[in-house]
Structures are given as structure tokens and as C-alpha cells.
């Protein structure tokens, strides 16, 4: 390709993305005060359309999958990409679940009266235009678009090129629902080209028409977005989550929680990656915990103490303590009580999710109070780190930043607020 042609195409993408941004802003202005019923009707109609169009969606997906096989994508990637009737039905049902959530927009977060008679309300408002940059899961197209719509935000979706046909087919059903409910078509836009320059334009903020970016995918995608975005980002780079088994832990409870935290699903961000065992109970707890993990097929990499109790334990390197395996591998370390555990977590963790197992309420309080991860659990599995499990409904992701949204990012976290002040002619003395 000549440089002239490349520049021309680059300019085309810039112009296309600018136009998408303007259309999104115009749609967002309307969505900000669209009645709940009208938004919900769009989502329900989209779910119906999804079911009616299941053949189109599966045909488009089959083409994507065929290309993926041809291009040598990994089995895990192909699995994430592949749809079937059951998965399409799950996508449709997720739209209905989102429609059933309470509408955050317009709700009062707080209200109070002033001595001068002013009545002050803090009222939820949408954020505006939300950009979602994701990889090969086509269901994100529907989930993320629906969460934005429900919270009164316009969405700009930029999915992975390997799922573009699937995403377009799903997006067509969303548009059917949006049009049926008389909302602006630009309420949920899908970037129609695979050109990577489109992501660069989104990171630069589309001339002020993009308010926040949510990256969904692997560490390299999230890292690029966090490093380069000129607008706020809701994300977590990784979840190096810990389970700390304290001297006052019941061994059976500890074993259940450790196995579940690590192995229920190894590929999610709330999966535990490191087990910390209090030296005061290492003599009784360390060996059975390691044996249980190995018996369930988990590779164990440990410090000297962990290696000493089982010959199958491999030596852990300094790098292991910082690693999010997302696989059936765990690092194990003996620490000096809750202080040692907290020091290890501060040093090596990613401030996502940590659990303590202990029967000692005072020790648990210290762990929950002094650590500053997004989610801290006492006597429960780290795999509960999930908006649905928290009862917050569907989530667009989990954030580890401390600004605006933290932990599961659901419809409430996709809103801002404003102050509505009602008076009777008050002026300031």
C-alpha cells in the first residue's frame, strides 16, 4: 500500500470516528431524559429481535469462526468467539435482565434542607458517551450496549475484528429494538471497520464527544488504553487476588474457600492467584491446603516452607508473586500473621480482591479496614467479585481505580450526578 493511500484511509477513519462521536453526543442528549419505560421497551424489543434473527446471527458467527480457525486462533479464543442457540438465548435474556433493573437516572442520591429554606437534591445523571473497546466476545456488544442505554448513556462499541460479523449481526437486533422504541439510532453505535486507527481516535476522545472508555479484554489491550487514553478509563489491568488463611482459620472452611477461589473458574479476574498461610498455623494447615490444590489438578509454586511440605511444589520466583496466571496455577507463601499478609498484598497485589479466612473477628476487621483493595472479603471466596453476585445486576466490568467507579461497574456506576436546588426567591447575604 502506498503511503498516500494509507494516509487517505487514516483520514477516512478519523472522519468516520468524528462523525460517530457527534452522532453519539446528539443521541446522549436525548437519552439523558428519556423515560425509563421507553428505554426498557427498546431493550425488550431488542431481545425479541435477537431471538427472531438467531439464524442471521449464527450464520455471521460461523463465518467469523471459520476465519478464526483458518487464522490459527487459540482454542480458548475460538471458544470465546463461538455462538450457538443457547448462547444467543442467554444474550437475549441478559437484555431482559438489564431492562428489569431499576433505572438509576433521576434518582435522588441525597436531599436536605438549608436553614434559609433552600431544598437541595443530589440527582443521578448519565455520564454521556461511553466507549467500549473489547476483543472477541460477541456478547459484549449486547451487554455493554444495553447497560449504557439503561443508564441513559450513548455507547460506541469497538469490538475485535475477528468477531466483527457476529457483532454486526447482534448490533442489528439492538438497532431494531431502538428504532421500535423511537430512540435515536446512534444510541448504540458499532464501529463498522476493523482498522485499528479507530481505537486511537477513541483514546483521543473524539473531539470531546467521548466521556469515558471501558476496555474489556486482555492485559495488553487494557494497558494500552490506560496508558494512552485522554479520557477517564474504567478498568482493571489485572486481578492478582489473594486468599490469606489466618492462624484462627477453620481448616475445612479454608480448604473450601481456597479451592473455590482458585479453581471454580481460573480465567476470571476474581480468581485467586496467591495463597498466603499464617506461619502460626502452617504446621497444621499448609500441607492439607497444598495437597487439596494438587489433588484438584492445580500446579503449586511455593516458597521454601511450601516446598518443604510437598515434593510436588515447584519453587516460586519473585515474578510469581506478581503474576495473574488465569490458569490452574497458584503461588503459595507463608507469612507472619495478618501483618505479614497485608504487607505481601500491598507489595505484590493489584488492589482488586482479597479474602481472609479466620474465626477471629478482630483480625478480620484489621484486614478489611487497613487494606485498600476494591473488594475485601471475610470468610468467603474471591470468586464473588462480580456485579451479579453483589446484587448490583449486570456489570460492564470491574474497576480498580479509586476515582468515580470502583469494584463492579453496573448501571449506577455509569452515572454522574447534579444538584437541583429549589428556593422561593432566596438571595445570598
3-state secondary structure of 182: coil
State in angstroms the smallest separation of the CB of 425 from a copy of itself.
Answer: 4
> Residue 416, interface with a copy of itself (CB under 8 A)?
yes
| Between 204 and 264, CB nearer to a copy of itself | 264
> Residue 310, interface with a copy of itself (CB under 8 A)?
no
> Residue 341, interface with a copy of itself (CB under 8 A)?
no
State in angstroms the smallest separation of the CB of 68 from a copy of itself.
Answer: 30
| Between 192 and 208, CB nearer to a copy of itself | 208
Say what angle helices 251-263 and 282-295 make with each other, to 10 degrees. Answer: 40
> Residue 422, interface with a copy of itself (CB under 8 A)?
yes
Helix (H) or strand (E) holding 195: none
> Residue 421, interface with a copy of itself (CB under 8 A)?
yes
> Residue 381, interface with a copy of itself (CB under 8 A)?
yes
State in angstroms the smallest separation of the CB of 349 from a copy of itself.
Answer: 13
Q: What is the CA radius of gyration of the chain?
A: 24
Say what angle helices 54-70 and 36-52 make with each other, to 10 degrees. Answer: 70
State in angstroms the smallest separation of the CB of 114 from a copy of itself.
Answer: 6
> Residue 423, interface with a copy of itself (CB under 8 A)?
yes
| Between 69 and 343, CB nearer to a copy of itself | 343
> Residue 384, interface with a copy of itself (CB under 8 A)?
yes
**Separation between Cα atoms, residue 405 and residue 289, nearest integer Å:** 35
**Separation between Cα atoms, residue 309 and residue 267, nearest integer Å:** 28
Could you tell me which residues are beta bridge partners of residue 357?
A: 245
Q: Residue 132: which of 104, 105, 160 has the closest Cα?
A: 160
Q: Which of residues 84-123 bind a copy of itself (CB under 8 A)?
A: 106, 112, 114, 118, 120
> Residue 402, interface with a copy of itself (CB under 8 A)?
yes
| Between 192 and 388, CB nearer to a copy of itself | 388
Binding-site residue total for a copy of itself (CB under 8 A)?
A: 60
Long-range contacts of 381-384 (CB under 8 A, 24+ apart): 381/257, 381/260, 381/261, 381/264, 381/355, 382/241, 382/242, 382/243, 382/261, 382/270, 382/271, 382/272, 382/353, 382/354, 382/355, 383/260, 383/261, 383/264, 383/265, 383/268, 383/270, 383/271, 384/270
3-state secondary structure of 55: helix
| Between 14 and 256, CB nearer to a copy of itself | 256
Per-residue x/- mask for a copy of itself, residues 227 to 266, rule CB under 8 A? -----x-----------------x--x--xx-xxx--x--
| Between 127 and 175, CB nearer to a copy of itself | 127
> Residue 379, interface with a copy of itself (CB under 8 A)?
yes
Q: Which runs of consecutive H residues, i.e. helices, occur in 204-281?
A: 219-228, 251-263
> Residue 211, interface with a copy of itself (CB under 8 A)?
yes
> Residue 37, interface with a copy of itself (CB under 8 A)?
no
**Separation between Cα atoms, residue 365 and residue 355, nearest integer Å:** 12
Dihedral sign from CA coordinates of 223, 226, 230, 232: positive
DSSP 124-159: EEE-SEEEEEE-S-THHHHHHHHHHHHTT-EEEEE-
> Residue 374, interface with a copy of itself (CB under 8 A)?
yes
3-state secondary structure of 397: strand
Q: Which positions touch a copy of itself (CB under 8 A)?
A: 29, 32-33, 106, 112, 114, 118, 120, 125, 127-128, 211-212, 232, 250, 253, 256-257, 259-261, 264, 346, 364, 368-370, 372-381, 383-384, 389-391, 402-404, 406-407, 416-428
Amino acid at each position: 500500500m502506498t503511503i498516500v493511500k494509507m494516509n487517505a484511509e487514516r483520514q477516512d477513519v478519523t472522519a468516520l470516528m468524528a462523525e460517530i462521536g457527534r452522532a453519539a453526543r446528539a443521541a446522549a442528549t436525548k437519552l439523558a431524559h428519556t423515560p425509563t419505560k421507553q428505554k426498557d421497551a427498546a431493550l425488550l424489543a431488542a431481545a425479541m429481535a435477537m431471538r427472531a434473527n438467531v439464524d442471521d446471527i449464527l450464520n455471521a458467527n460461523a463465518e467469523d469462526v471459520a476465519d478464526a480457525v483458518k487464522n490459527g486462533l487459540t482454542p480458548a479464543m475460538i471458544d470465546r468467539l463461538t455462538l450457538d442457540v443457547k448462547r444467543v438465548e442467554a444474550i437475549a435474556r441478559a437484555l431482559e435482565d438489564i431492562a428489569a433493573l431499576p433505572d438509576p437516572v433521576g434518582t435522588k442520591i441525597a436531599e436536605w434542607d438549608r436553614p434559609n429554606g433552600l431544598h437541595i437534591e443530589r440527582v443521578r445523571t448519565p455520564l454521556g458517551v461511553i466507549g467500549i473497546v473489547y476483543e472477541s466476545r460477541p456478547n459484549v456488544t449486547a451487554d455493554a450496549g444495553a447497560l449504557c442505554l439503561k443508564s441513559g448513556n450513548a455507547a460506541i462499541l469497538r469490538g475485535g475484528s475477528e468477531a466483527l460479523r457476529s457483532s454486526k449481526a447482534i448490533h442489528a437486533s439492538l438497532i431494531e429494538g431502538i428504532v421500535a422504541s423511537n430512540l435515536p439510532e446512534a444510541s448504540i453505535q458499532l464501529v463498522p471497520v476493523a482498522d485499528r486507527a479507530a481505537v486511537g481516535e477513541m483514546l483521543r476522545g473524539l473531539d470531546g464527544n467521548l466521556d469515558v472508555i471501558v476496555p474489556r479484554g486482555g492485559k495488553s489491550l487494557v494497558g494500552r488504553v490506560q496508558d494512552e487514553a485522554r479520557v477517564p478509563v474504567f478498568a482493571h489491568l489485572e486481578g492478582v487476588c489473594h486468599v490469606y488463611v489466618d492462624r484462627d482459620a477453620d481448616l475445612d472452611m479454608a480448604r473450601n474457600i481456597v479451592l473455590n477461589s482458585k479453581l471454580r473458574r481460573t480465567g476470571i479476574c476474581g480468581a485467586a492467584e496467591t495463597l498466603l498461610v499464617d506461619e502460626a498455623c502452617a504446621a497444621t494447615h499448609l500441607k492439607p491446603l497444598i495437597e487439596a490444590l494438587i489433588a484438584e489438578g492445580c500446579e503449586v509454586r511455593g516458597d521454601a516452607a511450601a516446598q518443604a511440605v510437598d515434593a510436588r511444589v515447584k519453587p516460586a520466583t519473585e515474578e510469581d508473586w506478581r503474576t495473574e496466571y488465569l490458569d490452574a496455577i497458584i503461588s503459595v507463601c507463608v507469612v507472619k500473621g495478618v501483618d505479614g499478609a497485608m504487607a505481601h498484598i500491598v507489595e505484590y497485589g493489584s488492589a482488586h480482591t482479597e479474602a481472609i479466612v479466620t474465626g477471629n473477628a478482630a483480625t478480620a476487621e484489621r484486614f478489611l479496614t487497613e487494606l485498600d483493595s476494591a473488594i475485601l472479603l471475610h470468610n468467603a471466596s474471591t470468586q464473588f467479585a462480580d456485579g451479579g453476585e453483589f446484587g448490583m445486576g449486570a456489570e460492564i466490568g470491574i474497576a480498580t481505580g479509586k476515582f468515580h467507579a470502583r469494584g463492579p461497574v453496573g448501571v449506577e456506576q455509569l452515572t454522574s450526578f447534579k444538584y437541583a436546588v429549589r428556593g422561593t426567591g432566596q438571595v445570598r447575604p
